[in-house]
Amino acid sequence: MEDLNIRINGRAGRITLTREKALNALTHDMALAVLKALNDWRDDPEVDLVIMDAAGDRAFCAGGDIAAVYHAGRAGNHQVGRDFFRDEYLMNAAIADFPKPVVAFMQGFVMGGGVGLGGHASHRIIGDTTRIAMPESGIGLIPDVGGTWLLGRAPGRIGEYLALTGARMGPGDAIHAGFADTYLPEADWPALIETLEQTGEIHRITGADAPAATLAYRDLSTFGGRNVADIIEAVESAKDTDSLKALQRNSPLSMAAGLFMVRAARGDLRIQESLSREYRFTARATEQTDFLEGVRAQIIDKDRSPKWTAEASTAAVQAVLAPLGTDEMTWENAE
């Protein structure tokens, strides 16, 4: 397909995102194609490892292409969103559990769906331009695509901070937070890719000293509060103006649900548990949350002035994360 270049080069299965003008935003068809490629290569003796990269300098993948989900939801069709998120999550889990090494080269923007693609690879390589974020609370969603799994494993209160504010991480912070593994100047990436293709040997990956991780030195204890209201009060007292602006800007329901989900994910033993919990929210997103209004304000009309209306009480969070019955994510036949 024209949005992806999927092939085998040497010993490597190769997946290259080619929607450069759209910042390599992930469509439903792209997610299905990646999942099929992984399933095709799982037992292929000619493929020793998988390499994922993307065209252009600006983005590895700036997120999911949710315009179709928005328009269908506005028209009362909520199944389009459910199908997209379900298949995307199946792909996320397939990457995380793939029995062969998966190497992701992530330049520029790596956000939302881009984290779902590269963030679960076994070997995650980043460079100076890399900016990683989970900004979903700004569009009325929650950190999904396995984002709560990663955030729940970040040190200290970094997970809560990133989930609620959507803050961006440079290379040093991304490695410190557990969203990447290896820093390597981007000029060195083509040579490494060629070596991996020729040899299929994952030990050929060597990195350089990463830039300093500013998050390692930040006091984020303010994000340890019992709920969002407590966190906002603590952030105000600490005079953390940047964080406060984000907390006042983002969807209250998304932040409340995201906070609960990051903390719940700390008890998960497999990424599938986190993805299933995320799906409970996203399956209801176009019908019961602030998602359509958030997408309208940030992506469709671009007035950057969402009018949040969804209730953010404990009961509302419990309702939007309640089991889906027969629509729950299932994993038995996911391959």
Contacts of 229 (CB under 8 A, 6+ apart): none
List Cα–Cα distances, 271 to 116, 151, 170, in angstroms. 11, 12, 24
Residue ranges in the chain assigned as alpha helix (H): 28-41, 67-74, 79-96, 113-118, 147-152, 158-165, 171-177, 189-199, 228-237, 241-249, 252-265, 271-282, 285-288, 291-295, 314-320
Verify whether residue 311 is a known catalytic residue.
no
The residue annotated as part of the active site, out of 63, 64, 119, 294, is 64
Verify whether residue 273 is a known catalytic residue.
no
Helix axes 79-96, 271-282, angle to 10 degrees: 170
The residue annotated as part of the active site, out of 48, 136, 181, 197, is 136
Closest by alpha carbon to 25, among 62, 58, 60? 62
Round to whole Å and give the CA distance between 170 and 190.
21
- End-to-end Cα distance, the chain: 21
Verify whether residue 170 is a known catalytic residue.
no
The residue annotated as part of the active site, out of 53, 65, 144, 290, is 144
Closest by alpha carbon to 248, among 261, 260, 232, 259? 232
Verify whether residue 147 is a known catalytic residue.
no
Q: Which helix (H) or strand (E) holds 96?
A: helix 79-96
The residue annotated as part of the active site, out of 81, 108, 112, 113, is 113
Active-site residue list: 64, 113, 136, 144
